[in-house]
Each structure stands twice: as C-alpha cells, then as structure tokens.
Structure 1
C-alpha cells in the first residue's frame, strides 16, 4: 500500500519511459524480420516483457541490457513451435496483436492470460482472423482466453472494423502478412497508427487512403533499429498533475507526439491549460518533442466523437483534471473503457467519488461536476495501472493522505512512476 500526501507544487524536467504501443510493435516486427535489430528506449514494464517472452518461447534470441534490446529476427518462416503455452499476463496488446501472428504460423500454439485479461473480449480479433481462414479454438467459442491456434492457410480479406480499435486493425494487418493476396482494413474513425508508421521501417509496403489501409501478404521484413520515444500516455499523468497543482512548472522531454496519440494535449488545451509543445525530432515518421505545462485554471468541456479514440487511455487522468475545472465536463462515446483492465468508467467514478469528487457514470462515459475539493481516503487500483497512477496524482491535491491498495499494478506500464514523481515534487 502506498500513502501519498499533498504537495506544494511540481517543478523540473522529466523523460518518461518508452512508448508502450511502439515497444510492443518493435519487438513483434523485429522478431519477424530477417537480421539483427536494435531497439533502444524500450519500455521494460510487465506488459511489454510478456511480448518479449512470447518470442523467446518461439526461438527468437532477444538480449536485453537495461532499456536496449538486441533482437535476432527469425523471419516469417523461422519461428518454432513453443514447448509451453504462451502467457500474456495482463497485456491486452500482446494478446490481440499476437493473435494475428499466431493465426498465420505453421504450428499449434495455446495462449492464456491472468484473471483480468481472461475476462476481456477476444472475439473482436478472432472473428476477422477466422474470416481469413484461421483455425482458432477457445473458451466461449474463443471469445475469451485461453485460446489455441492451429495451422491453417490464411487468405486476404477486406474487413470493416466494427469498433474503433488500433489493436484489432493491427491484428488483421499482421495476419495479412501471412495471408495469400491483399488484406484491407477499413476503420470507422482514425485510431493510433504506430503499426502503419513502423512496418515501413522494416521494409513492408502499405497503401493508405483515408480510413483504409492495405497490405500484401508474403512480404519479407528486414531488420531495423528503432529509437522508442517517451510514452504520451505515461506523460499525461504529469501533464495533468502540473495543470491542477499550484506552483507547478513541468516539462516532459523527448515524448511521442503522434497526432493519433496526442489527444491529452488537445484536451488540456481545450480546457484552457497553460500547455505548449515543440517538435524537436522525427523517429521514422513519429514526431517527438517536449511538452511544457504550468499551473492552470481549467474550464469544463464536452469530449466526444473522434477525440475519444485519441485519448481513450488518458480518460482516467482527464477525469481527475475535470474535477478541478470550473463547470461541468461530459465524456461521451467512451464505451470501450468498460472492457479495459477494469471497467474504467465505474472504477474512475468509484475512486474519485471516494476522494470527494462528484462524478456520475453513464453508459458510454461520465458526467463530472468540477471545482470539487478532494480529501484523503483509502482507494484501490483494482489491478489497473492507469487507475493506480490517477489515484497517486489525485493525492497531490487532497486534504489528507491517500492510501492506494495494489500500487504494484503500476509496474505494468511504468515501473519508475513513483521515483519519477518524487523527482518533480517540491518538498515542504
């Protein structure tokens, strides 16, 4: 249990750990490539390490020194049948993206996850992969883990996504690498595009037109080096912390500013935050830069439509910001939060209300009445890393201490979170 107290402010500069989405994809693409790839800035959180272990169990040599990985790729046809079931832990990204790979491999695999992941829906990736010809079996008709994949030739399809999900899009495109012919994915709206920006670095050609992306099967991936930028979803917690905490001035350096991921910057700007950013570099097609935030007076807003898929992982911390804004904030079109590590709509409402907030859950979001002073209480991450970090940031502005049960869940995406937070705190 972590107990955290109110602070007098946050000051300084910080680099957050590597982007989780890019770290996962870099390991997958480098393992499927021919040759040796070097991944620097890799996020060594529990989720990304699950992807590393999956490929090690299929014969890929992956050497790790701190946050640098050296991956000896096996190519699309060089992986071997694992001797043990593949464990995904709590990682939904591993489970969904790897489904696209495992569906195309010429051998049998069985996969499973922890209790939380075993409750999350897998049919959204299983359905299109079966349409491609994949042989997939599992609990509740393969709607839930554990799931097994048997060898079966895949064929290219045109698939219109029923949900806005970069994970489903990526799973189908990865299956398309192993398929005969062309695979096309049509989105309802823009989602994060790291798969599309990274695959060309490994020599894969994609064609993109509006909300449509296509890939030809049988392409050879070649080794590439990737410098993973900081994760904007991790940075979001400190951006909000600086905005809502008095006497604060914080800069997050070398963070990814991909326009399909920077929704938290847009949302805070819309609320009137004193926030600015500068793009300092490009890593491949990924813009990287510095984001600066000072203590701010926020105004309640309505968030709905296209921005939601861009800010979906940041909604817990955005909700905290809304509790300190003037007026009411309404979040809509966020039903996807119900099938995250927890039901994040309910978890956000329960935990922030326990601290004195006034939030009402709705079917697809929440209604937040701002300007509410928060007080200390005992809360729980419920095993969800983003809920745990939200609670820690809330403690910076509460009257009284906040005690967090299951703070270890934060290690899933941000093992150094508490030490990085301590680095910014102005001590009394």
Structure 2
C-alpha cells in the first residue's frame, strides 16, 4: 500500500550511484590491466547482472556493499564462458557486452528475462556484424538469446540511425579490439559516460562535434572510480519536492553530466524552485553537485527535439509532474520510450489515467492537461522500475492510499527507494 503525504517531504538524501556509470566501471575494469576500485557502486539488480556476467568470463570481482574491486586481465584476458551469460533485466549489460564479446576470439551466448526477450538487438548487431563479428539469435539476431563469435574485427565509420548511448558504446568498445580506426557519428549528442571512461582508463579517444573516434589495439589501465549519485534516480525526488506541498529536499552528490541534465532544464522551464548549490568537476571525470528543490507552482511546456536524449529515462516522472502543472504539456520525439522495459508511452498513460490524470498517448509521446487532482486506485509497475517509482510519487498526491502491484521492480536501479521516501515523510 502506498501512503499519501500529509505534511510534505523534508530532509536530505544521498542518491545511490549512477547506474550507467556503475555498469561501465565494471566493464572497463574487467578489460583493463590491473586493479580497479569502484566507490558508491549501485548495488541494484541490473548492475549486479553485469558483475555476474564478468565473473562467468573469468574476472575476479570483490564486492563489499557499495565498494567493488575488479581485478582486470586486459583486453584479451576474458575466457570463454562455460554457461549462458544471464543479463537479467539489463539492456545496458547486454548491448555493451556484445561490443566487448565481439572482440573476443571465442563463443558466448547472452540472454535475459522476459522483458529483455522483447527488446530490439538489431541496432547493436548491425554495426558489430559490419566490423566482422558473427552474431546470431532469434529473428536473425534481433532478439535474445544472442550468440556471439568474435575476433578479427576491423574499424568502421558508423552513423547511428537512432540516438542511442548503448549502441554508440557497443561500437566504441568493439573499436578497442578492431584493426584500424572506428568512428561513431551521432544524430544528437547522447550520454558520454563511455567516452569519459575510456579517458579515465588511459585510452585515447577523439571527439569532434558529433563524431567520436577510437584507435584499436590500445591497452587500458586499472583506475579508481567514484560513482556520482544517479540523476535519473534523483529525478523522482526532484519532482516530488516540486509537486508535494510544504516540501524541501536536498539531494547530495548528484551527477550533473550535461548529457543527462535535461530534467533540470525542464524543471526550470516549468517554473520549479531548484538550485544547484555546489559543483565540482575536472575534464575527464563526471561533474557532481548538490541540489535543493522546494514546492513550486508549475506551468505546462512542450518537450521534444534534442532535449529528449538528455532525459529519456525521466519522461515517466516528467509526465506525472505535468499533471500538477497549469496548462498543457506536450512530450514529443520520444518513440524510443516504446522499446524500454515496457512500452513507456502506453504504460505511463494507462497507469496515470487510473489515478485520474488527463493524459493521452501520441505516436511519439503524450499530451497532459493540468492541473489535475489525483485519486487512489490500484496501479501496476509491470516490472518497470521507473514506472514503479513514478507511481509511488504519484500516490503522495492521491485522495487516499493507493495500491501498487509489482513494487519490487524498483530494486533494478534504486533498492533503497521506499526507505528513502519514508525518511522524507517522517
């Protein structure tokens, strides 16, 4: 049962480590020479799937809560797995690992849960095949399980047909193993954690406008990684602080990578009272800061274009925020939502409608009319962590307690979510 808020949300939170960066830190640590230490690792189900896969590839990994040590064996230190590599619910794990496995001179098979079985792999398989990897699977390699026999790769220049950090990362990782030069050209800038990670591990990468180039055959060296708090997880409390009356929340050590801060841009455009009170960065590492958010009067806006890749994971919670804003909010250019853990356009619209929201789906997004009071109802995460967290925040505003089916889905990216939410309600 989800409780409504009667006194507002107040307090300070340390947001758990960034999911995207946690995945990549383990992956790069595994293919680098020597020891990599990772602090503030996200011990969510997705990132634990990445650890499990690399252990099956012969990498020793030690974990003590949020501290992880990876004993890397270099680019060619992985061994052929004896069993299937189970990625669980993690699209990041399977797509990025395909790039690494494409460079290995052995055979491996990747699969995951029912959600992964529905998600498209062709977008990664196509460029990796062009580089020389032998990949097969259901629907000609378009769906899991996917088999990879790698090795003997050659560099390519690849223009991404869709803006996807996962596809970009898979090609760049394969490029480390390829003969010659590999270049990825993006239609729109996407999150650049992989590029930063390559530099942090001692690799050489060239970035010019929308073009990212890497030379094959580079050796990476183990590194010390401090993972910032995940802004995609922080987004739920940023919105909660805006839409729940009498609230003030401070979120500490949140990652503020420019390719991920679309949510802050949208909050400010809608009139939210959100402040960045500190920010530290250097050229290679991730920018980090503390955020303070207070209850706000919001107005509807149009969200689309180049902003979408910078907030694609935050659209469910933005949709909820729009129900509490005056006027109309239009979200467009977001077809990528259809191939997430659920079809997030359909799921957001169906579940918020149950709570009384005035929201309709479009082919590439949704239209939300505010300001709308929400009512209690039984809703469902459908196994999608971001839907589960969004609905839990929505329940703070309902006229009575709401019921959420499949609440455990949030553990994929935010195991402490309910505990943190309860701490703000005391």
Check whether TM > 0.5. Answer: yes
- Trace 1:325-404 onto structure 2 (pairs within 5 A): 325-404=325-404
- Trace 1:7-156 onto structure 2 (pairs within 5 A): 7-156=6-155
**In 1, distance between residues paired with 2:44 and 2:292?**
25
**In 2, distance between residues paired with 1:226 and 1:291?**
22
Asked if structure 1 preserves the Cα contact closer than 8 Å seen for 2:159 and 2:184, the reply is yes
**In 1, distance between residues paired with 2:68 and 2:85?**
20
**In 1, distance between residues paired with 2:262 and 2:196?**
18
**In 1, distance between residues paired with 2:174 and 2:388?**
34
**In 2, distance between residues paired with 1:152 and 1:193?**
26
Unaligned runs of 5+ in 1: none
**Structure 1 residue runs of 4+, over 3 Å off?**
none
Asked if structure 2 preserves the Cα contact closer than 8 Å seen for 1:6 and 1:401, the reply is no
1:261 is aligned to 260
What is the RMSD of the two structures over their aligned residues, measured on CA atoms? 0.8
**In 1, distance between residues paired with 2:178 and 2:150?**
12
1:332-385 deviation digits (Å, cap 9, x = unpaired) = 000000000000000000000100001010000000001010000000000000
2:414 is aligned to 414
Unaligned runs of 5+ in 2: none
The secondary structure found in structure 2 opposite 1:375 is coil
1:300 is aligned to 300
TM-score (norm 1): 0.98
1:311 is displaced (CA, Å) by: 0.5
1:282 is displaced (CA, Å) by: 2.3
- Trace 1:110-259 onto structure 2 (pairs within 5 A): 110-259=109-258
Count of aligned pairs: 425
**In 2, distance between residues paired with 1:54 and 1:401?**
40
1:397-424 deviation digits (Å, cap 9, x = unpaired) = 1101110000010000000000011111
Asked if structure 2 preserves the Cα contact closer than 8 Å seen for 1:87 and 1:111, the reply is yes
1:70-110 deviation digits (Å, cap 9, x = unpaired) = 11001011111111010011000001100100111110001
1:285 is aligned to 285
**In 2, distance between residues paired with 1:190 and 1:210?**
9
1:231 is displaced (CA, Å) by: 0.1
- Trace 1:313-328 onto structure 2 (pairs within 5 A): 313-328=313-328
The secondary structure found in structure 2 opposite 1:291 is strand
1:175 is displaced (CA, Å) by: 0.5
